[in-house]
Structure 1
Amino acid sequence: MPTSLPFGPTVFPRSRLRQAIGLALLVGASTPSMALQAEEQEPQARKDPRLPDVIVTAERRETSLQQTPVAVGVLDAAALERKNSRGLQDLAAGAVAGLDAPGTTSSSMGYRSIRGIGSGSMPGHNSSVALYLDDVYIPRVINSGVFGLPDIERIEVLRGPQGTLYGQNSSAGAIKVISATPTDEYRASLSLGAGNHGSREAKAFITGAINPGLLYGSFAYTKRENDGTVRNRTLNKDVNRINTEQARAKLRLTPNDTTDIVLTGDALKDTSDNYALSRANAAGYPLSERVTYEDKQLKAKNVNAGLSLKVATQLNDELEFKSITAWRRFKTDPDVWSYDGIPDRRFGWEFHLDQRQVSQEFQLNGQHGALSYTTGVIGFQERLKVNRPNWTFNAYNGITSDTDVQSLGVYGQAHYQLTERLGATAGLRFNKQKDEYDWTSYASNAALENLGTTGRLDGLTHKTDAWTPRLGLDYRINDNLFTYLSFAKGEKAGGHNVVSGSIAVAGLPIEPEQVTAYEWGLKSTALDGRLQSNLALFYNDFDDYQSGVSSPIVNGQVINGSVVVNAASAVLYGAELEVTARVTDDLKVNFNTTYVESEFKDFLNPTGNANTDYTGNSLPGPRWLAGAGFTWNLPFAIPGSAELYGDVSYRSREVQLTREAEVPSRTLVNLGGTWYLPGDQWSLSLNVRNLLDKTYVTSSTWFAPFNILGETYNDPRTVLFSVKRDFF
């Protein structure tokens, strides 16, 4: 792949160059093999010593972060580039207050939690933390972990229930991935990288006007791979590989001064490995860090794509209309998992998934003097087909399921400025959902063939509806101090276990998980804009908490594996603090921490297994999350300029639900630097993750029916050296 274009702005007329880029944008929209890249880069000139005023869209309209009555964490493009983020698995503890993304299974799995809620979802289920890509909802835990394209403008992490504006499956919060919209500004660049463990990557981005004032376009591309970080002594090779390739193209049309139309298409191919367990209790197979004896190749083949059309029209000076139409699909065929960790067929399966979704949202945003509001309606339909052949103690079986989800939401939220300093927020959403579910089980063999039906349930229907309100007050104490108080309700959808291992579990419906939340926040700016600190205290009360229970007894029968049930009522409360400071003109530091206490007030134990009553236990997850980082523009007399950056994250010990296994605390340090050569067109970067090469257990799981105690580990030290060429 070439590292530079055969022309440049110094030898090619600028008008011709712009015409060439316009042509390239049209070609790039249909040619996924293009390899140009651009990421946000702060100018190297002397910066304003004040911290920037960050603009967010947490309330579906643009507001200043420090004047928004919601707890929001933001990772901008520059921060994501420094972290060389590939997806959720790289947003480790400490990146944003309250956010935890363990990343212990595979690159495509989007396990995440906010303030201790959300990480217990099973593959194929919804999460309590909703994920949005450019305002389009991504519903499943599987196929939601990779989003590392270089056109991402920022990631907003909304903490606490978002039941009014964002609806179901946001009972813990929401993550909004926002990509850049093409404008008149021309940018193009290419980045190539290589490192240890066979790491290779290429990133590309090009954006600008095709027809200035009317038509704009952009194209982004990323390819990442490595040779694996876990040694498989049975297969005599490294496993836990990463191999992803993705692209996104955008076309923007502005036919007049009041209308903005954006068409977006994206695609991803992920053929990475699923994580192979290290067995901690297998005779003859000594436990060793990042070593497995698994005899199956745990490869995934995951492809997905999406299209969206956003139309925004300014009806008048006070009212804007938006339409968001979207279609998405993912297919996993196959997705191989084994929890043996040794050469036997004790416990494992394959996923063959086919998911399709369509959604349509209409929205009105108004601003009438002291009143601002957002109201809308959204319809969503999803079809998820599952085929899961599995093996237990060399016995082969399988299940299939077909889930059809239809939901409709109507919402509105308004903010009124009662006085110059005092404001009030009120919102309400009504959501109704219908799940239709078919399930079959079948006999199988070592070739994982369907040898005939052994059980069947057809036409199961589950209907739910809910009202989720939000009330709040905010007060601007002075120009630098802002406080708010809020009450909100949220809900995580129910339905059925889409990969039910038995007819007893298949017939066990899951009710929605509901939460009532109270929050107080204080946002301050001090030292002439050099210091920002945000504090939040929160209390959550859960009903019908959805919990994954291992090996339950249903109707007197032991069910192998995990089952999601409405297990409990629970409370969770805590505090979080975020601080950002520009210590000098060249040095910026940040710090955040989150503390959570929780307890199951009641555990309904619907499975009937006396060993699965966890009343009084804390909810699974760490009690403490913390992180700190810095960015230092080196004040040395060198050609060009350079910056050094790093971060440290801490995740406290996690006691799991069963109390039979726990995940120890871990502290990880990352360090990197970039040298911008004179002219700011070339830059060299070095990024080191896990600088101290520490090894920690990231998951410890006990499967009692199979006598399996399995562990996974964080990656060892990884080093990536990158060369980047900016063309504008």
Structure 2
Amino acid sequence: MHRAARVLLPVAVALGSQAVQAQAENVLPPVLITAERMPGTADKVPVSVAVISQEDIEKKGLFQLNDLVGIVAGMAVPNGYSNMPQTVGLRGVGVSQPAMAQAVGIYVDDVPLLRGYATALWDLPDVVRYEVLRGPQGTLYGQNSTAGAVKLVSADPDEIAGSWIGVGVGNLGQREARGLFAGKLTPDLSASLAISRRSNDGFAYNATRHEDINKLDATQFRAKAKVLMGPSAHIVFAVDHLLDRSDTNTINFPLNHPGAAPRVSFNASDAGAFKRKAGGASATVEWDVAAGTKLRSITSYRGYTDDPTVADWSGLEVERYEISQQVRQRTFSQELQVTWRGDGLDLVAGAMLVRDRFHFNRYVMSFPVAATAPGYTQALTDQQTQDVGLYAQAHPRLSERLSATLGLRGYHARQDAANAFWRTNAQFVPTQQVYDAPDLHTSEGGLLPRVGLDFNATPTTLAYASVARGEKFAGFNRAAESLISAGVAAHPEKVTTYEAGVKLRSAPRRLNFSAAAFYNDYQDYLASLGGTTVNGSLVADSVFLNAAKARTYGLDLEAEQGLTSSISATGSLEWLRSSFKSFLNPSGSAASDFSGHELPYAPRWSAALGLKGRTSSAGGLLSADAWLQLIAPQFIDAANTAALRAPRQTYVNFALAYAPDSGPWQVSLRVRNATGRAYALARNRIPPLGIDAAYYNAPRTVMANLRYEL
């Protein structure tokens, strides 16, 4: 075990032991969540869940999914910039192709976001918390949550205490303007508007064009209205929109250039154009039909369009690989749900329909080192996917202290698709059709059970154990380069997870502590393979298929300890082991036998340590936060290529805030990556194209904010 892990484990244990010895004046407040689709507290929910509060979101600047890496133990998001395709992993599994169904479901106010596009940036001031649920959540959150689920929860208008506006400036040309406005328009109608505008001059530099690159330029809003329909019913309407004009200079920092340096590119052309429009509308109706019984209807329509996305991968003066693509997705979802809370039983049951249409058009210029001229291609994909699910989960109390969890979801998913591929000229006008597969169909179904027991050993201590099944729909490849790969529809990836945990919330000693041990047994693990055999034929291009059996196991620890009435310490740690039990190897070559290898993006440990201080002095409330993020080295491919291994990462961060007792002003200062460390991550090597490049983490950023309460 690495020395940092040897230090952090005793720290986590020490936090628990201090609670038995130390006295403090205040109790840490309970953490309210909706992980089981009804209100509860994190210390009483028999699942492993990390909760990021609104205070932490604002003060630490946690505005995109990648910001949670190293804070939520076991979470992986390889792509660090919001306009990049996002894939989320938990406990070593989940990172796959962003255009495919994901293993970690992402939800905004119970509305599912599909695939890995337009899911990363949620810099809206009405977000009240993130909930990260580890392990399969298929019973309550759908079949595409094999590794877990991430919930972004925003406040309803009548839950917002006041309105405010804020502005911020920082190094590297950082600028932001944010605001939250809420109020009651009539006795039965309340409304809110959350807005955000964020930009910078660029985190990187193009040494050939002499210009700053890797810029952020995003504007978004969410409007909500809540209408009371008598004493027992209400409806919440929500509309959100994002316009992102950042550039795509995120992965093209070459390591094989004589002038190579962190965050420096040499591309001679302006291959970084990007424009994204994303958003949606939803209506959530809730009725209190009887004592303890609620009916809910969640209707949503969401979509996004990336047009254009132009990106160079090599970062060299002579481009070796450039893509220009248009991506469009439109999704309708409808969920009907009933919850019942009684003296001896809690029950959630419902039905879910999701219809998704995904259109992908990619142009590629590739220029092999050995070639005299580049080649040009076009790939088209259109996929229509429908997923229907029926679910129920009961939590009966078997005795005064002992309860059970019994859950089951049945699902059926169908995908109709079309793939086509052309060779084109330099203007991307088709000159030769390689194949056309206009009529592709596949369907899958299954049952996803969950069984568990939880025991209240004391009023403040919960122990639990569970077994859960998860599945992830696969479907057809997108942008396939051959007819064989275009027609391959992989089967769902399956996991059976065994978990046991304990949660403790002490009073009055101010301790929140949770620990969970887990074992994941994966069947039909999905991976992209090149040079494999399909139906007896060798396929040179990459194919997304069922490639392996795998396992991960480990331990999650989270703690918050009140040290004094005004200072508390926080800690989180995941210790993880992973391996492929078997791996598809049609060639029989020893070099292609990945059995026994570690899974991609499965660091052996990840951890965070923090201190929070709050004091009333100098006529106001002064708060200070410091936190350390530690991530162990990790492989990024199933081959465990040493040259591609991501290094160990360490980040030191600070935040200060001051709010006077009287007066509407607040000021804050935030420093991320205070030591300015640069890490080459997600390294990409394609020797025939002369590509050896990476993306880098964000540099040191300093942001000062001024906020005015209206």
Q: TM-score when scaled to structure 1?
A: 0.90
Amino acid at match of 1:320: K
Please tell me whether the aligned partners of residues 104 and 698 of structure 1 are also in contact (alpha carbons under 8 angstroms).
no
Which residue is equivalent to 2:378?
398
Q: State how far apart, in whole Å, the 2-side matches of 1:228 and 1:655 are.
A: 28
Contact 2:377 2:422 in 1 (8 A): yes
Q: Match of 2:262?
A: 289
CA-CA distance at 1:276 after TM superposition = 3.8
- Once the two structures are TM-superposed, the CA of residue 515 in structure 1 deviates from its matched residue by 0.2
Residue 607 of structure 1, CA deviation: 8.4
One-letter amino acid of the counterpart of residue 37, structure 2: R
Aligned residue in 2 for 1:490: 470
TM-superposed CA distance for 1:92, in Å, is: 2.4
CA contact (8 A) 2:271 2:312 kept: no
Contact 1:653–1:662 under 8 Å retained in 2: yes
Q: What is the letter of the counterpart of residue 260 of structure 2?
A: L
**Aligned counterpart, 1:4:** none
- Picking from 347, 358, 372, the partner of 1:384 is 358
Deviation at 1:160, TM superposition (A): 0.5
Q: Please state how far the C-alpha of 1:634 moved relative to its aligned partner.
A: 3.9
Candidates 315, 318, 326, aligned match of 2:300: 326
Farther off after superposition, 610-619 or 163-172: 610-619
Residues 1:132 and 2:107 are matched in the alignment: yes
Percent of residue pairs identical: 33
Partner of 1:53: 30
368, 378, 384: which one pairs with 2:342? 368
Q: 1:409 aligns with which of 389, 403, 417?
A: 389
Offset at residue 709 of structure 1 (A): 1.9
Deviation at 1:167, TM superposition (A): 1.4
Q: Shift in Å at residue 337 of structure 1?
A: 2.1
Distance in 2 between the 1:639 and 1:370 partners?
Answer: 50
Instruction: Give per-residue Cα distances to partners, 1:492-542, cap 9 Å, x unaligned.
Output: 111011222332321221211000000000001236240111000000000
The alignment status of 1:102 with 2:78, answered yes or no, reads yes
1:579 corresponding residue in structure 2: 559
Matches of 2:159 and 2:414, distance apart in 1: 45
* 1:711 positional shift: 1.8
Q: Per the alignment, in what secondary structure is the counterpart of residue 139 of structure 2?
A: coil
Give the 5 Å matches for 1:588-627: 588-605=568-585, 611-621=591-601, 622-627=603-608
Secondary structure at the aligned position of 1:85 is classed as: coil
Structure 1 residues 290 and 418, CA, compared in 2 at 3 Å: closer, same or farther?
Answer: same
Paired residues for 1:378-457 under 5 Å:
378-393=352-367, 394-451=374-431, 453-457=433-437
Is it true that 1:206 corresponds to 2:186 in the alignment? Answer: no
* Counterpart-to-counterpart distance in 2, 1:524 and 1:440: 56
Encode CA deviations 1:390-441: one digit per residue, 9 max, x unaligned.
0111110111111000110000000001111000110100010001110111
Compared CA separation, residues 582 and 298, structure 1 to 2 (3 A): same
Q: Call closer, same or farther: CA 1:346–1:552 in 2, change over 3 Å.
A: farther
- Give the partner amino acid of 1:672: A
Q: Distance in 2 between matches of 1:330 and 1:203?
A: 23
The answer on whether the counterparts of 1:217 and 1:251 sit within 8 Å (CA) in structure 2 is yes
Corresponding residue number in structure 2 for 1:549:
529
Matching residue's letter, 1:89: N
Question: Cα RMSD over matched residues?
Answer: 1.9
Query: Does residue 142 of structure 1 match 2:117?
Result: yes
How many positions carry a matched residue from both structures?
674
The CA deviation at 1:477 is 0.3
Separation in 1 of the partners of 2:337 and 2:676?
49
Change (3 A) 1:204 1:108: farther
Partner of 1:713: 696
What letter is aligned with 2:103?
Answer: S
Find the counterpart in structure 2 of residue 11 from structure 1. none
Code of the aligned partner of 1:689: R
TM-score by length of 2: 0.92
Give the drift of 1:550.
Answer: 5.3
> Is the Cα contact below 8 Å between 1:640 and 1:676 reproduced in 2?
yes
The residue number in structure 2 matching 1:166 is 141
Q: Residue deviations 1:68-126, cap 9 Å, x none?
A: 11111101111100112221122221x2222222333553432221111112x123122
State the 1:184 CA deviation. Answer: 7.0
Aligned-partner residue type, residue 270 of structure 1: D
Question: Judging changes above 3 Å, is the alpha-carbon distance between structure 1 residues 126 and 453 closer, same or farther for their aligned structure 2 residues?
Answer: same
What residue number does 1:475 align with? 455
Are 1:551 and 1:704, in contact at CA under 8 Å, matched by a contact in 2?
A: no
Report if aligned partners of 2:525, 2:547 keep a CA contact under 8 Å in 1.
Answer: yes
Q: Name the CA distance, whole Å, in 2 between partners of 1:256 and 1:654.
A: 55
Distance 2:632 2:692 in 1: 21
SS at match of 2:218: strand
Counterpart in the other structure of 2:628? 648
Residue identity matched to 2:281: L
Counterpart code for 2:357: R
- Closer, same or farther: CA 105–550 of 1 in aligned 2, 3 Å: farther
Aligned ranges 1:339-350 → 2 under 5 Å: 339-350=313-324
* 1:185-237 CA distance string (max 9 Å, x none): 6511001001111100001111121112x111000000101111111112211
1:679-722 deviation line (CA, Å, top 9, x unaligned): 15201111111011111122222224424222221111111111
Residues 88, 146 of structure 1: 8 Å contact kept: yes
> C-alpha separation between the residues in 1 aligned to 2:413 and 2:544?
19
Q: 1:409 to 1:48 in 2, by over 3 A?
A: farther
Q: 2:432 & 2:240 partners in 1: Cα distance?
A: 39
CA–CA separation in structure 2 for the residues paired with 1:105 and 1:567: 29
2:658 alignment partner in structure 1: 675
Question: Where does the alignment leave 5 or more consecutive residues of structure 2 unmatched?
Answer: 1-23, 368-373
The CA distance in 2 between the partners of 1:521 and 1:550, in whole Å, is 40
Other structure's SS at 2:475 match: coil
Match of 1:35 in 2: none
Hey, what does 1:531 align to over in structure 2? 511
- Which residue of structure 1 lines up, in the alignment, with residue 14 of structure 2? none
2:8 paired residue number = none
The letter for the 2-side match of 1:446 is A
Match of 1:183, SS state, is helix
Work out the CA distance in 2 between the residues paired with 1:129 and 1:499.
23
C-alpha deviation, 1:610, in angstroms: 7.0
Q: State the shift of 1:318 in Å.
A: 3.1
Is the contact between residue 598 and residue 640 of structure 2 (CA under 8 Å) also seen in structure 1? no
Quote the residue 1:16 is aligned against. none
Q: Is 1:512 matched with 2:492?
A: yes
